[in-house]
A and B are shown apart, each in its own frame.
Chain A
Amino acid sequence: DGGITQSPKYLFRKEGQNVTLSCEQNLNHDAMYWYRQDPGQGLRLIYYSQIVNDFQKGDIAEGYSVSREKKESFPLTVTSAQKNPTAFYLCASTPVGGGGQGNQPQHFGDGTRLSIL
């Protein structure tokens, strides 16, 4: 079955360390997204990509970086500049990029829980 795979499920970061969260999809979707979820908050958009080799900042991009070298992969790096990285991170995708998505829902992975050691 097609879907979105996020790994690892749990991740621990030391002070001053960069860590990378993996997101892979085999749905042949064009657009991919990264969200951060904190307790009592909704999902907040970190970065998104509508097409390979292109991505844009979301609402809370500071301290994060992404790449989109392949259609199926959209890894998120949490850099040492992100002073409060402890959160639940969700990756999502939609079939079509740009503004043509209409009522298509976003498909989500199972998430990665990131904590500071």
Chain B
Amino acid sequence: AQTVTQSQPEMSVQEAETVTLSCTYDTSESDYYLFWYKQPPSRQMILVIRQEAYKQQNATENRFSVNFQKAAKSFSLKISDSQLGDAAMYFCAARVAGSQGNLIFGKGTKLSVKP
């Protein structure tokens, strides 16, 4: 069975600084996809970034980037120039190719941004 682990229940960052959220996963499959979702206080789930396991290049979306270490099964999210609006729960998720599209979610990391 696939599992996704987020070892940091809570993190805090100063505005304009950089923070890294950790995520590890466990799967025996070679073809899979990884995602980071943001859930602000409004509770809406918003896709932040995604990564295909077959791609060596780390995905980047503006201030958000990932450090994908396939051998270590690690998929951390780096937020640069943190903004107050980045405060939210962040969930790491994984999908194995051919698994009927089901996502496996971690338990989340609550990020606070200090002004």
Using CB atoms and an 8 Å cutoff, list the residues of chain A in contact with chain B: 31, 33, 40-45, 48, 50, 56, 58, 88, 90, 92, 94, 96-99, 101-106, 108, 110-111
Other A-B pairs, 20, CB within 8 Å; known A99-B100, A101-B95: A40-B9, A42-B4, A42-B105, A42-B108, A43-B105, A44-B105, A48-B101, A50-B100, A50-B101, A58-B102, A99-B97, A99-B98, A103-B50, A105-B50, A106-B45, A106-B101, A106-B103, A110-B42, A111-B43, A111-B44
Number of inter-chain CB pairs below 8 Å: 63
Instruction: Give A105 to B51 CA distance when docked, in angstroms.
Output: 11
Question: From DSSP, what is the main secondary structure of chain A's interface residues?
Answer: loop
A48 and B35 form a contact (CB under 8 A): no
* Residue ID in chain B nearest A30 by CB atoms: B101
Classify chain B: how many residues form its interface, as a range: 20 to 34
Nearest Cβ on chain B to A75's Cβ, whole angstroms: 20
* Residue ID in chain A nearest B46 by CB atoms: A108
Instruction: Give A10 to B85 CA distance when docked, in angstroms.
Output: 25
B107 and A101 form a contact (CB under 8 A): no
14 contacts between A and B (CB under 8 A): A41-B107, A42-B106, A48-B100, A92-B45, A96-B101, A97-B100, A102-B52, A103-B50, A105-B35, A105-B47, A106-B103, A108-B44, A108-B45, A111-B44
A94 and B43 form a contact (CB under 8 A): no
Instruction: Give A92 to B101 CA distance when docked, in angstroms.
Output: 11
Residues of A within 8 A of B35 (CB): 105
Question: From DSSP, what is the main secondary structure of chain B's interface residues?
Answer: loop
Residues of A within 8 A of B43 (CB): 88, 110-111
Residues of B within 8 A of A108 (CB): 44-45
* Residue ID in chain A nearest B43 by CB atoms: A111
Instruction: Give A2 to B93 CA distance when docked, in angstroms.
Output: 24
B91 and A110 form a contact (CB under 8 A): no
